[in-house]
Amino acid sequence: MDEAVVIAKGLGKSFGGYRAVEGIDLTIPKGAIFGVLGPNGAGKTTTLRMLLGVIDPDSGERRLLGSDRPRSVAARVGYLPEERGLYPGMSARDAIAFMGALRGLPWKEGRERADERLATLGLAHATGEKIRKLSKGMAQMVQVVGALVHDPELIVLDEPFSGLDPVNQGRLENLILAQRDRGATIILSTHVMGHAQRLCDGLAIIAGGQCRFRGTVDEARAMLPLGVRYRPRLTGDMASLAAMLPDGAEQRDGEWHFNLPDDGVEPLLTALVAGHHGVEGLSIERPGLHEAFVRIVGQSRDERHGETRT
């Protein structure tokens, strides 16, 4: 069996007296799209930087592509850092070729790939433009293409969707899926659950510097009970309607939302119909990753309540 592309055990890092990351364990198999999710300040970027060897952990160990010296395998890695930046005077084509050259790709090959890959993304018009003339989102797409131009085995994208319009977000999702299809492993950090739900084979949710969940999207969603959305046909006496619904039921936009009762929805429906509230709409749904994320992160906030940063 192939060794996992990334193995981290007990990674931790302090800045001054502040423990930004503590005890992160990760195993990311070859060919996976792996999401590192978490709210602002959770420790995502710090974790990615430790995995890549941009900074060293002060506790724990990591192996990247079989090496415990991540920088020694940098040519096999593509990295989009959180801080974006390209030379403004370069054309998009040359900026991409330059990033490839830094990772060992011959200049001519880099320029050819730049043209070809921007065209595949529907961005052929950008290739001869100077970076300073591109919009922020377009420059970011160029930087993503540059990070991948040498066909790395491992791709690490820190918040790759931030600042992109919906069309470019869709292009980037397709690009990430195409990279997995060619056999690359992708790690991406985000706090936008929609992207993670569509793309990720596995994920870690980090909050307060610690890993709060590791598993698949479906496993995260299965942590919450099924949800019911109920729209009454006749609203009538709201107090009597609300009294029939399970504890915690909330009304939003004319619909009631609550957890599926243990005995199912049938006894409740019978009571609602008998109580002259009727049923105009009813659905039973698995909660999304968004709800699971809010629950997991909320719990970790409650646990850390009262801690202060020194």
Considering the complex, what minimum distance in angstroms separates the CB of residue 303 from ligand ATP?
17
3-state helix, strand, coil in the chain (%, to 5): 40, 25, 35
Residue closer to ligand ATP (CB basis): 175 or 297: 297
Considering the complex, what minimum distance in angstroms separates the CB of residue 40 from ligand ATP?
3
Considering the complex, what minimum distance in angstroms separates the CB of residue 82 from ligand ATP?
6
Residue closer to ligand ATP (CB basis): 40 or 308: 40
The one-letter amino acid at 143: Q
- Residue 21 · residue 47 · CB < 8 Å: yes
DSSP class per residue in 69-138: -GGGGGGGEEEE-SS----TTSBHHHHHHHHHHHTT--HHHHHHHHHHHHHHTT-GGGTTSBGGGS-HHH
Considering the complex, what minimum distance in angstroms separates the CB of residue 203 from ligand ATP?
14
Considering the complex, what minimum distance in angstroms separates the CB of residue 15 from ligand ATP?
3
Residue closer to ligand ATP (CB basis): 10 or 254: 10
Q: What is the dihedral of CA 140, 141, 143, 145, to 10 degrees?
A: 170
Residue closer to ligand ATP (CB basis): 20 or 97: 20
Residue closer to ligand ATP (CB basis): 91 or 143: 143
Residue closer to ligand ATP (CB basis): 39 or 146: 39
List of E strands, the chain: 6-15, 18-28, 33-37, 59-64, 77-80, 154-158, 185-190, 202-207, 210-215, 227-231, 250-252, 255-259, 281-285
The rounded distance, in Å, linking the Cα atoms of 308 and 16 is: 14
Q: Say what angle helices 166-181 and 136-148 make with each other, to 10 degrees.
A: 0
Binding region for ligand ATP (CB under 6 A): 15, 20, 38, 40-46, 82, 191
Considering the complex, what minimum distance in angstroms separates the CB of residue 121 from ligand ATP?
25
